[in-house]
Amino acid sequence: MSSHIKEKGYFQKRKLRKNMVHLFLLPAAVLYGVFQLYPLISAALNSFYSFNGFDRDQFIGLKNFIVLFTEEPYKGTFFNAFKHNWIYFFVTVFTQLVISLFLALIIHSKIKGKEIFKSIFFLPKLLSVIVIGFLFSLVLNPTRGALNNLLEAIGLEELTRPWLGSMDTALFSVIFVDSWASIGFSMLIFLAGLQAIESEIFEAAKIDGANWFTVLRKITIPMLGPSLLVMSVLVFIGSFETFEYVYAMQGSSGGPYYSTDVLTTFFYRLAFGTTDGGQSIGLGSAIAVILFIIIGLATTLMLLIFRRKDFER
C-alpha cells in the first residue's frame, strides 16, 4: 500500500495522511456511539411507546408516565421506591460526608500509621458490591449472623434484631452496608482536598488564636468546597442508581414487603421480572427517563458550579 501512495503526488499524499488522522477518533466514537449513546437515546424514546414483548408497538405519547403516576399498583410502588431513594440519599450524605470528613481530618492530623489506617478503611472498595451484599446478608442474619452474636457476647442482647428482616431496620441496614463500603473512598477524596490546602493558612489561624472548631468552620470546610460538592453529587447519583446491595440482601422486590424497594429494582422487575402483556417495558423505560432527568440535572448543576468557580479565579 505504501508504494502505491508514493507514486502519487506529494499533495495527494499529504491529504491522505491528513484524513488518516481521523482513524484516531473512529474506534472510540463508534464503540461508544453504538453501545452507549444509541441505547441511551433508544431507552429515552422507548418511554413513549407501548410494547409487544421486547418490540416497540405503538407511539402512545406520555401514557406510560401517566400510568406510572396515577394507576395502581404502579403508582404506589413508584412513589414508595422514590421515597426510599431520597431516604437513601439523606442518610448516605450524612455517613459519607460527615463520617468520611471526620476520619479524613483525623488522618490528616499528626498521627502515626496514616498509610495503614488509610489502606484498611479503603479495603471494602476493592470488593464487588454483590460480594459485600452477600457477605452482609450473612453478617446481619438474625440467628447465625456475626452482628447479633457480637452484641450478645458484649451483653447487649436487647439490641439484637432481624436487621434485614424487619421493616423498621431493613432499609437503614442496606444503607449502612453501602456506607461501610464507600466511606473509605470518600475519605481519600477529602484527604486529597486537605493536602491541597497550604499549611501556612492553618499556622496563621493558630497564631491568631483560632480554636479547632473555628478553623474547621472558617477555613477547612470552605477550602474543601469542591471536594464536598463532588462528593454530594456522587452520593446523589449513587443513591438513585443503587441496585446491587438491595438485590443481594433483599431480592429484586426489595423485601420485606417492599420496604427496601428502590427505583432501579422496580425498573428491573418491570423490564426483566414480569410479563403483563408488554406494558411493563414501556413503564420501565419511563422510570429510566425519570432517573436520566434526576441524575442529568444533578450532574449539570455540578458542572455549572464548577464553571463559575473557574471564572472567578
- With CB under 8 A as the contact rule, which of the stretches 83-91, 107-115, 155-163, 165-173 interacts with another protein? 107-115
Residue 201: half-sphere exposure toward Cβ, Cα within 13 Å: 13
Instruction: Return the biggest CA–CA distance within the chain.
Output: 89
Contacts with another protein by CB under 8 A: the residue count is 92
Helix axes 170-196, 100-108, angle to 10 degrees: 40
Indicate whether 243 belongs to the interface with another protein (CB under 8 A): yes
Site string for another protein, 269-308 (x = CB under 8 A): --xx--------x--xx-xx--xx--xx--xx--------
- With CB under 8 A as the contact rule, which of the stretches 7-15, 78-86, 149-157, 159-167 interacts with another protein? 149-157
Place of cell 421486547: 54
Q: Where are the alpha helices (DSSP H) in 140-278?
A: 146-153, 170-196, 199-207, 212-215, 221-223, 225-241, 244-250, 263-268
Strands 55-59 and 49-52: antiparallel
Residues of this chain, 120-139, that bind another protein according to CB under 8 A:
120-131, 134-139
Residues of this chain, 202-241, that bind another protein according to CB under 8 A:
206, 227, 230, 234, 237, 240-241
Task: Give the one residue of 192, 204, 221, 304 binding another protein; rule: CB under 8 A.
Answer: 192
What are the φ/ψ torsions at residue 61 (nearest 5 degrees)?
A: 60, -130
Site string for another protein, 19-38 (x = CB under 8 A): -xxxxxx-xxx-xxxxxxxx
Cross-strand pairs, 49: 59
Cα 222 from Cα 11, distance rounded (Å): 57
Nearer to another protein, 35 or 311 (CB): 35
Nearer to another protein, 23 or 73 (CB): 23
- With CB under 8 A as the contact rule, which of the stretches 65-73, 90-98, 243-251, 253-261 interacts with another protein? 243-251
Indicate whether 174 belongs to the interface with another protein (CB under 8 A): no
Residues of this chain, 38-67, that bind another protein according to CB under 8 A:
38-40, 42-43, 46, 54-55
Amino acid at position 178, single letter: D
The Cα-based distances of 11 to 4, 22, 23 in angstroms read 14, 18, 20
Q: State the minimum distance, in angstroms, from the CB of residue 216 to another protein.
A: 14
